[in-house]
Amino acid sequence: MSAATAQHSPLTAPREERFNYNNLGPLLFGLLVATGVGFVVALLACFTPMGWKQFLFSWLYAFMFFFTISAGSLFWTMLHYAVDAEWSVVVRRILETMANSFSVLWAFFIPIVLGAGVVYGWMYGVPAGVDPALDGKRAMLNPKVWAIFTVLIFSFFFSASYTLRWLSTRQDKTGDPGCTTKSRKVSFASIPLFAVLLTAAAIFWVMSIQYHWYSTMWGVYLFAGSAWSSMATLILITQWLRSRGHLQGIVSTQHFHIMGKLLLSFTVFWAYIAFSQFFLIWYANIPEETEFFLIRNTESWNVWAIGLEVVGHFFITFVLLCPRVMKTNPKYLCYVSGWVLLMHACDIYFIVNPFLNPTGVNPLSMIFDLAALVAIGAPLAFVFLRTLGKHSLYALRDPRLPESLRLVN
Amino acid sequence: MPAATLQAPANTIPAMPPRKLYGLGAELPSAAALFHAAESMRDAGFKRWDVFSPFPIHGMDEAMGLGKSIVSFIVLGGGLTGMATALLLEIGSAVYLYPLIVQGKPVTWATIPAFFPVIFELTILFSAFGAVFGMLAMNLLPRWHHPIFNWDRFARVTDDGFFVVVEASDPRFNDKDTVAFLSGLGATNITMVYDD
């Protein structure tokens, strides 16, 4: 709808719109079955030559995939309040519900905690005095600090996403504009914490596996992937809801256009960060920095790096998203978003799996990685769908809703 | 000059050459009126016309029936030119003309990561050139003067005036009918604007 006509047409008070569970029974049941099957198949990894270690790395891979998507959803929610955005009011409830997965995500980290000594070799495997490089990092790389940060990370991500969602759904009932200003304050306070703790998660959970290696861009690298993949997930979920008859007259092509533009911008941002990290390490050629890329730029991992990271992750996505029609047509945008999620899965795989298989891609490992993806993804999807129906599908009484409804960009 | 020559009979004054009509200007009371006028103009099938307001009006491109601008293709051309320029300058000189081993890096295509920053910068620079100069060219800018400035009321366009201007070269343009059409849209001060 155009701006000038909207100014003259009386704006009807938006009706509450609840998620419709019709015909969803088989899907919800299927998700529960998939959870069990995925978990059992992932556990079969214990019978491979790698054993328990194989299971842990598959599990860590799947966990990081969903952790980054959930963290990205929280990021977009906080950004919405911090910059007082108009366009995202209509899709914010979906983002809040996606970020709500932090209420259960901690449970999926338990296997990693139990097997921390196996995944993180520095934890118990290397006695003091053997490795001077590690001893210099002991102030940070010790089980106590690791545990403290793990608790801090989950507490923060859960409380921030819970508070923002609570304030937002409370506003649905009370219509109090104070909820928006309070959310804004929560977001301002949370953004620095988000940056520090997402970086901490990237360092403690992933980078420290190869404890000699360090990169100052690591936290930003995971952040770029988080914001990118969560935007793609948001596009897919929004269009899925629309295809089920929801959000008609609420979410328009204009909103998809903005989401497409943000997806494009984070495609470029990721490439910028990822290349900068590679470039500086490659050029400086310092042994403790290059070991990460030495594994990943040899054997079949190099094919992966060029084919899936450089060409697939960046070039194809970039070219696909350049024409305007790809961003304004929800159907095309959904195809690209599916591709984005696939590339994000490949990116996290490229980060985590070479620690386990330094000599090249291991097809056997992939079975368990996929199973772990299902074992974590299916229950998260279940929780998402159950939570989605508890409140209106969009922020019903947000002060900026009228502006968001008649968005023109 | 003697005063007597000023009192020459009227019939001796040489006839003015016929003035070339640029188009019809019309003023509208508000942004919303301008928006609806634009929709009507679009639906009536006018081709060479434009609207003017002191500030951008969201959705006006659609109300006017403007398609997508071709500037994006000029930008793409600019970006590709920049990329090719950087590749030529760097690969050509560092790999073929003066191969030097720097930092132990190979002097083949495999050293392309070292060239990326310049490729990246030149791609962006030439894309930006394409965007700015492409936009100027599409708008026929820069130019010294425009016939519409011959209309004194038009000065208010930078303050509080909303205007529609139909050019005389529009295939649907017709003095009387277009005046009637514009006044039907609620326009006031409908004025013939001349080209000199």
Nearest CB among B36, B58, B103 relative to A3 is that of B58
Please name the member of B58, B76, B103 whose beta carbon is closest to the beta carbon of A408: B58
Q: Does A279 contact B116 at a Cβ distance shorter than 8 Å? A: yes
For residue B113, list chain A residues with Cβ-Cβ distance below 8 A.
Answer: 275, 278-279, 282-283
| Cβ-based contacts of A275 with chain B (< 8 Å) | 113, 116
The answer to whether residues B54 and B78 belong to one domain is: no
Query: Do B61 and B153 belong together in one domain?
Result: yes
> B114 at the A interface (CB within 8 A)?
yes
Residue of B nearest to A284 (CA): B103
Burial group, residue A367, by CB count within 10 angstroms (0-12, 13-18, 19+) = middle
Reading across the β-sheet that carries B49-52, which strands appear in turn? B49-52, B162-167, B21-28, B188-194
Q: Would you place residue B10 in the very low, low, confident or very high pLDDT band (cuts 50, 70, 90)?
A: low
Same domain (yes/no): B99, B123: yes
Question: Which residue is associated with the tokens 């016929």?
Answer: B18
Give the total number of structural domains in chain A: 1
On whether both B76 and B45 belong to a single domain, the answer is: no
Question: How much is the pLDDT for A299?
Answer: 86
Asked if residue B162 belongs to a domain, the reply is yes
Other CB atoms within 10 Å distance of the CB of residue A97: 25
Residue B6: band (very low, low, confident or very high) from pLDDT cuts 50, 70, 90: low
Contact residues, chain A, for B32 at CB < 8 Å: 4, 7-8
Q: Give the structural domain span for B117.
A: 71-138
User: Which residues in chain A show pLDDT less than 70?
Assistant: 1-14
- Tokens representing A221 are 């690298």
Q: In this structure, is residue A278 part of a structural domain? A: yes
Instruction: Identify the domain containing residue A265 by its residue range.
Output: 24-405
Residues A6, A117: Cα–Cα separation, whole Å: 61
Q: Does one domain contain both B52 and B29?
A: yes
**Region B124-133 average pLDDT:** 96
Residue contacts between A and B (CB atoms, under 8 Å): 38
B36 with A4: Cβ contact below 8 A: yes
The answer, yes or no, to whether residue B26 has pLDDT greater than 50, is yes
The confidence band for B14, taking pLDDT boundaries of 50, 70 and 90, is: low
Query: Which of A65, A70, A67 is CA-nearest to residue A348?
Result: A65
State whether residue A349 sits within 8 Å of chain B by CB.
Answer: no
A13 domain-assigned:
no
Q: Do B104 and A285 touch (CB under 8 A)?
A: yes
In a domain, residue B10? The reply is no
Neighbours of A42 (CB within 10 A): 25
Co-location of B79 and B126 in the same domain: yes
- Residues of A within 8 A of B114 (CB-CB) are 279, 283
- Which member of B63, B68, B114 has the closest CB to residue A324? B68
Instruction: State the DSSP code for B186.
Output: T
pLDDT confidence of B19, banded at 50, 70, 90?
Answer: confident
Specify the pLDDT at position A175. Answer: 86
How many structural domains is chain B composed of?
Answer: 2
- The β-bridge partners of B167 are B23
Contact A275 B113 (CB under 8 A): yes
Same domain (yes/no): B101, B76: yes
Residue A2 lies in a domain: no
Rg of chain A over Cα atoms, rounded to whole angstroms, equals 22
- Average pLDDT of the segment spanning B97-122: 88
Nearest CA in chain B to A6: B32
Domain end marker among B101, B117, B138: B138
Give the list of residues 6+ apart from residue A26 with CB closer than 8 angstroms, or none: none
Q: Are B163 and B28 within 8 A, CB to CB? A: yes
Residues of chain A found within 8 Å of residue B105, distances taken between Cβ atoms? 283
pLDDT tens, position by position, B30-89: 999 999 999 999 999 999 999 999 999 988 988 999 988 899 999 999 999 999 999 999
Question: Residue B174 is part of a domain; what is its CATH number?
Answer: 3.30.70
pTM: 0.89
Rounded to a whole number, what is the distance in Å from the CA of B19 to chain A's nearest CA? Answer: 38
Is residue B122 a part of any domain in this protein?
A: yes
Q: Is A9 on the interface with B (CB under 8 A)?
A: no
Token pair of A184 as six digits:
């804004």
Last residue of a domain, one of B97, B118, B138: B138
On chain B, the residues whose CB falls within 8 A of the CB of A2 are: 35, 58-59, 62-63
